[in-house]
Amino acid sequence: MRNILSELGILPDVEKLICEVENDLADDFKKVDDISSFNTMKVMKAFCDHRVGDIHFVPTSGYGYDDLGRDTLDLVYADVFEVEDALVRHNFISGTHTLSTALFGVLRPGDTMLSVTGKPYDTLEKVIGLSGHKGDGSLADFGVGYCDVDMTATGQIDFDAIDKILKDDASIKMVFIQRSKGYGVRPTLSVTQIGEIISFVKSRKADVICMVDNCYGEFVEKNEPTGVGADLIVGSLIKNPGGGLAQTGGYIAGKKELVNLCAYRLTSVGIGKECGASLGQNKPMYQGFFMAPHIVAQAVKAAILCAGVFDKMGYPVEPKPHDERYDIIQTIEFHDAKELIHFCGGIQKGAPVDSFVTPEPWDMPGYSDQVVMAAGAFVQGASIELSADAPMREPYIAYMQGGLTYESARYAIMVAAQNIMQGRK
């Protein structure tokens, strides 16, 4: 029998390390499989209840009037996320675009957005008006205010600070919660923690809209933020819910009146969800959503393995190998920029696409620092496929996420670990 790992250049010591870590993680993997099974049944029920069939995959063009596949997919998402309505469209080009659409759709001049998880992800800074140029068309240009509350030094929500702002500022219209850490070092929030935030906020100001950036978190737990009171959740289809098959797109799900406002922003006031040709994109969006719970489980297992390997190699990791998981992201803190680049190079080499490419730091649109990114994906930029990226700044933290199959991600982690080991010599 061929020794395929030897042919791929993996040293015996690296393979031994991986096997040792996997043995230690068997119970953690079983928990992930249990969550995947539960979430798959939720998706299956929605597909069956809405009688999904070949007719839903028929492309439409032009205005896209009466696109049955498009409209039914909204209903499937709404059922799975336990909400009144959803807006699922290939027209959304990224998570940032989807979030921007929701913010502009709901907020009005004189309103204020309060972020209770610190400053949002880098690419939203220009949307809000925290960076960029006056007159670009940010929320600030349209008279929408912004304030934030940093999380505590131990990564907890600062409820006292939130309480004070809600009492002092009557213009607070939206509380924004970022589930994942972005390029931060704080822990990712669990659905339970998000529910606690929402309950606290609503007890102080019942009419505040609670919106959750749900990117990287879908199907990692058995419940979603809408199950604990979120008015809106937003995500990208080239992350978790697209299941690696959606070519592009995003979703907004929540209260019907808010989803309608978001639809007016995406298309036009008075048109909203009624138009928008599917152009043949419905089938991969349906199939991707069907696959998503399983694919997310593959990504979570890959993250757990990565944590176990690099923890054993002596690097700080978050979450720790046996910690509960609330998103698909795994962080590893390296000693210097060289190690960081070596890690990303290993992940790239272990990718099915562009494995021959060497990642280098570059000026990526929407980011204040240069970014190094490993992304050998079938869909450009798809975070549910195995990727690793990092801003080139101290501390030198790599953010790894995704993995369409555990087995392929396992190989990439081997290559990354070997790169680091050889770079130490």
> pLDDT digits over 145-158, tens only?
999 999 998 889 99
Q: Residue 177 pLDDT more than 90?
A: yes
- Chain-wide mean pLDDT for the chain? 96
pLDDT of residue 425: 63
Same domain for 244 and 359, yes or no, is no
- Which residue, of 216, 245, 278, is where some domain finishes? 278
Same domain for 117 and 259, yes or no, is yes
Looking at the domain assignment, is residue 54 inside a domain? no
Share of the chain above pLDDT 70, in %: 99
- Which residue, of 253, 278, 303, is where some domain finishes? 278
Same domain for 273 and 295, yes or no, is no
Looking at the domain assignment, is residue 283 inside a domain? no
Please say whether the beta carbons of 235 and 98 come within 8 A: yes
Tell me the H-state helices in 81-190: 95-106, 125-128, 159-168
Could you tell me the pLDDT band of residue 364, with boundaries at 50, 70 and 90?
confident
Same domain for 144 and 222, yes or no, is yes
- CA 381 to CA 378: how far, in whole Å? 9
pLDDT of residue 122: 85
Looking at the domain assignment, is residue 194 inside a domain? yes
Q: Residue 54 pLDDT more than 80?
A: yes
- CA 250 to CA 235: how far, in whole Å? 6
* pTM for this predicted structure: 0.95
Looking at the domain assignment, is residue 187 inside a domain? yes
Same domain for 298 and 222, yes or no, is no
Looking at the domain assignment, is residue 48 inside a domain? no
Looking at the domain assignment, is residue 226 inside a domain? yes
Domain of residue 230, CATH code: 3.40.640.10
| Contacts (Cβ under 8 Å, ≥6 apart) of 71 | 273
Could you tell me the pLDDT band of residue 109, with boundaries at 50, 70 and 90?
very high
Please say whether the beta carbons of 234 and 99 come within 8 A: yes
Half-sphere exposure at residue 216, Cβ-oriented, CA atoms within 13 angstroms: 26
Same domain for 128 and 246, yes or no, is yes
Could you tell me the pLDDT band of residue 181, with boundaries at 50, 70 and 90?
confident
| Contacts (Cβ under 8 Å, ≥6 apart) of 28 | 304, 321, 322
pLDDT of residue 153: 87
Same domain for 81 and 226, yes or no, is yes
| Pairing mode of beta strands 172-178, 209-213 | parallel
Q: Tell me the pLDDT tens digit for each residue of 263-318.
A: 999 999 999 999 999 999 999 999 999 999 999 999 999 999 999 999 999 999 99
Please say whether the beta carbons of 228 and 194 come within 8 A: yes
Total domain count, the chain? 2
Question: Can you tell me whether residue 308 is helix, strand or coil?
Answer: helix
Q: H/E element holding 213?
A: strand 209-213
Q: Tell me the pLDDT tens digit for each residue of 17-26.
A: 999 999 999 9
Same domain for 272 and 352, yes or no, is no
| Contacts (Cβ under 8 Å, ≥6 apart) of 49 | 79
Looking at the domain assignment, is residue 53 inside a domain? no
Choose among 144, 134, 137: nearest CA to 109.
Answer: 144
Nearest 5°: phi and psi at 420? -65, -45
pLDDT of residue 362: 87
Q: Tell me the pLDDT tens digit for each residue of 405-418.
A: 999 999 999 999 99
- CA 37 to CA 155: how far, in whole Å? 31
| Domain housing 90 | 59-278
- Which residue, of 278, 309, 335, is where some domain finishes? 278
- CA 416 to CA 179: how far, in whole Å? 27
Same domain for 120 and 257, yes or no, is yes
Token pair listed for 349? 């080499």
Cis link prior to 284 (omega < 30° from 0)? no
Q: Tell me the pLDDT tens digit for each residue of 325-341.
A: 999 999 999 999 999 99
Domain of residue 27, CATH code: 3.90.1150.60
Bridge partners of 51, per DSSP, are none
Same domain for 377 and 400, yes or no, is yes
Q: Tell me the pLDDT tens digit for each residue of 122-147.
A: 889 999 999 988 999 999 999 999 99
Same domain for 267 and 294, yes or no, is no
Same domain for 264 and 295, yes or no, is no
Looking at the domain assignment, is residue 123 inside a domain? yes
Q: Residue 197 pLDDT more than 80?
A: yes
- CA 417 to CA 280: how far, in whole Å? 41
